Amino acid sequence: MTRMMIRVDAELSDELSGAFPHLVTRTQRATTTLTGEMTDQQELQGVLNLLNTLGIEVVEVVTIPD
């Protein structure tokens, strides 16, 4: 597993955050970070695809070192 942080250009509501139950959300003025473990590239791509489908712009994706 790889720990990842995804920053998006939106404040996610509780309902939208619920679409990512395995990620921790932290909202800061007009941005949200989603942080959690990803089992592989396919899981990461699934999260990024869902954000895109919801019309949420991804600003940054970072691998967090152990």
**What span, in angstroms and rounded, lies between the C-alpha atoms of 46 and 59?**
16
Instruction: Return the CATH class of domain 2-63.
Output: alpha beta
Tell me what pLDDT residue 66 has.
80
Tell me what pLDDT residue 39 has.
94
Q: Can you say how many angstroms the Cα of residue 50 is from the centroid of all Cα atoms in its chain?
A: 10
The token pair that represents 60 in the structure block: 């940054």
Q: What is the mean pLDDT of each run of 10 residues along the chain (66 residues)?
A: 90 91 88 94 96 94 90
Which residues on neighbouring strands pair with residue 8, listed in sequence order?
A: 32, 58
Question: Domain residue spans in the chain?
Answer: 2-63
Tell me what pLDDT residue 30 has.
83
